[in-house]
Chains A and B, each alone.
Chain A
Amino acid sequence: MIDLIGYGAFFLTTALIFSLVTLGLNLQWGLTGLFNVGLAGFVAIGAYTSALLTTPDDPARLGGFGLPILIGWAGAMVVGGIAAALTGMATLRLRSDYLAITTFGVAVVVQLVALNAQKLTGGPFGIGFIPRPFGSLAETPLLFNLSNLAVVCAVALVAYLALEHLSRSPWGRVLKALREDERAAISLGKSARFYRVQAFAVGGAIMALAGALQAHFTGFIAPDNYLPILTFQVWVMLIVGGSGSNLGAVIGSILVWAIWAGSGTLTSMLFAPEQQARAASLQIVAIGVMLCVILLIRPNGLFGDMPRRPRLGKRAKAVAAKSGSGS
């Protein structure tokens, strides 16, 4: 029973960290319509920044500044936000696809830096000894897991409430207006690029915070944690939950993580150890097909309020045809 509670707490902590990333993505995509396929890169930036700031001094690489954990988290948000703002500034005046390609590139480059800049990131071996909140409780795993869960819950709740507030604020309404009808919003005197860069930066900062949380939760990070599969998982979480809805983002994350973890346990039970790497790739196939099927059948997900409502369908088509004709 105690084991079950412990596992439940562990599961929920991971799921809620995922939901924080998904909330960041929801701000970028769901609310503003910005397509980020390199979010693993921003999560990694947050994790590494916080790890560098808070770990004890390490002669093998730069830093290990031994700062408090909260400063690490704040640093992660700042650096993640700046990275996202720079990416946005480079691409947001261009077609939306260019942002997708550039974020994809950001993730590739972050992965390269994590692997090769040994002086900064510890290279393939990663960074260990990241201080864990309540590390002193590690003797009693249950208490440790529960207190971690409480911290992550609190952070996720704050982020959720803040984002709910933001999306109802005038700022959020501008973003929605830009998403629904860019020309009308611009004609009302709103600078599309300025608002989008802001939304993209805030989203990036939230993703970085999630990366930092994860790093301090596990105490160890390595480049392998931030492969494109992470990006993909979070996208599926958002689409399943329904883009545009913060509640959907949280629930989608927990749901998809449950499916993911459950199917992982299932494959480890069903397949022989030497076949498990192959079985794991089958898991990805299943999730990939799921993403495509949801996009085809129910693009709004469970709770979505994206502009793909039927009554707008006609107009969207007309707009697409017009822009296709070269507007």
Chain B
Amino acid sequence: MSLQFIVDGLLTGSMIGLGAIGVTLTYSILRFSNFAHGDFMAWGTYATLAVVSTIGATFGKVAPIAPLSFGWPLLVALVVGMVFTALLALLLDKVLFSRLRSQGQAIIVVMASFGASMALRSLLEFTFTSRPTYFSRAIQIAMPVGFGIRVTPDQIALLLLTAILVLGVHLLMTRTQTGRSMQALSQNAALARIVGIDVASVVCVTWIVGGALACVAGVMIGILVQIRPFMGFDMLLPMFAAAILGGIGSIPGAVLGGLIIGLAEAGAVQLIGAEWRAAVSFIILMAVLFVRPIGLFGVRER
């Protein structure tokens, strides 16, 4: 068995982990599992793609940054895409989720997110058709790094980006007042309100962080694999499994869970075959639910 699966697994794991951060935050702070999260990913990616092509049309062809397959337009577009996805999440919350939340029926919100996910995805299919597209069709030469492992410059850059983002979110959650408010609200909503935490702004930050990270994860998939309207939907089960494996509400848990699932998927692809990949997250999910439903870093719900 070649060790290549480690790199592949870490990359898939980063995408899952970045998505799972959003899932775990919505679950712990807004208290519902958001089935539309995968479609935030896809929308963010298509928005980024749209900005990249607009820049390409205005400035002509831009040479990529030395060893990478993409240039500054993608970086600019990624930032725009992140803002766009965050706004999309906020809009959906304003129109749909917040109204249903105020009715006090958690599971109705889940159902609405399921409906919204179908609508969002099909809207993408309508606008861009279901044909896959790519940020770049250039082929990158993978460099050998020893132990039979090869990586491309893109892959290294994206792994670094993930590490930076995860560190950033971790610092946001632990070192800032906003982050501490978010934790407070997830641990004890009533008490958090009593001590005067502004719930509306915490909800806002939750959607912004979740949406922006979903966009990054989607763009990563777009760079390394391909862009399809179903790209986010297919990530939904791995993301949920990662969030539950890591323990609901835990950011390091979500990332670690994502990496574990990514590695397990990559290992399964080598051992069993790529067609069974999607079953891996289900098996891990079931195992966690049977053995330790609170996950690795979870706290028992009080």
Known interface pairs A90-B290, A102-B286, A326-B301. Does A112 touch B188 (Cβ–Cβ under 8 Å)?
no
Of chain A, the residue at the smallest CB distance from B118 is A288
The answer to whether the Cβ of A311 comes within 8 Å of any Cβ in the partner chain is no
In the complex, which residues of chain A have a beta carbon less than 8 angstroms from the beta carbon of B114?
37, 232, 235
In the complex, which residues of chain A have a beta carbon less than 8 angstroms from the beta carbon of B191?
325
In whole angstroms, how far apart are the Cα atoms of A45 and B31 in the complex? 32
The answer to whether the Cβ of A282 comes within 8 Å of any Cβ in the partner chain is yes
The answer to whether the Cβ of A324 comes within 8 Å of any Cβ in the partner chain is yes
In the complex, which of the residues A96, A97, A108, A326 has the most CB atoms of chain B within 10 Å of its own CB atom?
A: A97
Q: Which of B27, B104, B122, B289 contacts A284 (CB 8 A)?
A: B122
In whole angstroms, how far apart are the Cα atoms of A129 and B276 in the complex? 28
In the complex, which residues of chain B have a beta carbon less than 8 angstroms from the beta carbon of A70?
none
The answer to whether the Cβ of A109 comes within 8 Å of any Cβ in the partner chain is yes
Say yes or no: A105 contacts B275, CB within 8 Å: no
The answer to whether the Cβ of A220 comes within 8 Å of any Cβ in the partner chain is no
Say yes or no: A277 contacts B118, CB within 8 Å: no
The answer to whether the Cβ of B187 comes within 8 Å of any Cβ in the partner chain is yes
In the complex, which residues of chain A have a beta carbon less than 8 angstroms from the beta carbon of B33?
97, 100-101
Known interface pairs A105-B285, A112-B278. Does A288 touch B116 (Cβ–Cβ under 8 Å)?
yes
Min distance, Cβ A215 to any Cβ of chain B, angstroms: 24
The answer to whether the Cβ of B100 comes within 8 Å of any Cβ in the partner chain is yes
Of chain A, the residue at the smallest CB distance from B32 is A97
In the complex, which residues of chain B have a beta carbon less than 8 angstroms from the beta carbon of A109?
278-279, 282
The answer to whether the Cβ of B165 comes within 8 Å of any Cβ in the partner chain is no
Say yes or no: B275 contacts A115, CB within 8 Å: yes
Min distance, Cβ B85 to any Cβ of chain A, angstroms: 19
Main secondary structure of the interface of A (DSSP, over half): helix
In the complex, which residues of chain B have a beta carbon less than 8 angstroms from the beta carbon of A37?
35, 114
The answer to whether the Cβ of B107 comes within 8 Å of any Cβ in the partner chain is yes
In the complex, which residues of chain B have a beta carbon less than 8 angstroms from the beta carbon of A283?
122
Known interface pairs A97-B32, A101-B240, A281-B122. Does A325 touch B188 (Cβ–Cβ under 8 Å)?
yes
**Stretch of B40-48, B68-76, B123-131 lying at the A interface:** B123-131
Say yes or no: B122 contacts A285, CB within 8 Å: yes
In whole angstroms, how far apart are the Cα atoms of A282 and B120 in the complex? 10
**Tally of contacts, chain A with chain B, CB under 8 A:** 158
Say yes or no: B103 contacts A313, CB within 8 Å: yes
Of chain B, the residue at the smallest CB distance from A324 is B189
Min distance, Cβ B56 to any Cβ of chain A, angstroms: 24
Known interface pairs A91-B289, A296-B96, A317-B104. Does A35 touch B126 (Cβ–Cβ under 8 Å)?
no
Say yes or no: B119 contacts A292, CB within 8 Å: yes
Min distance, Cβ B170 to any Cβ of chain A, angstroms: 24
The answer to whether the Cβ of A316 comes within 8 Å of any Cβ in the partner chain is yes
In the complex, which of the residues B33, B236, B293 has the most CB atoms of chain A within 10 Å of its own CB atom?
A: B33
Q: List 21 A-B contacts (CB under 8 A).
A: A35-B110, A90-B289, A90-B290, A94-B293, A101-B33, A232-B115, A232-B118, A279-B126, A281-B122, A281-B123, A288-B118, A289-B119, A291-B118, A292-B96, A296-B112, A308-B103, A313-B104, A317-B104, A319-B104, A320-B104, A326-B190
- Chain B contact residues, CB within 8 Å of chain A: 27, 31-33, 35, 96, 99-100, 103-108, 110-112, 114-120, 122-123, 125-126, 129-130, 187-191, 233, 236-237, 240-241, 244, 275-276, 278-279, 281-282, 285-286, 289-290, 293, 301-302
- List 9 additional contacts besides A101-B285, A324-B31, A324-B190; criterion CB under 8 Å: A97-B110, A105-B241, A108-B237, A278-B126, A279-B126, A284-B118, A296-B96, A324-B189, A326-B190
- Chain A contact residues, CB within 8 Å of chain B: 33, 35, 37, 90-91, 94-98, 100-102, 104-106, 108-109, 112, 115-116, 228-229, 232, 235-236, 239, 277-279, 281-285, 287-289, 291-292, 295-296, 299, 308, 313, 316-317, 319-322, 324-327
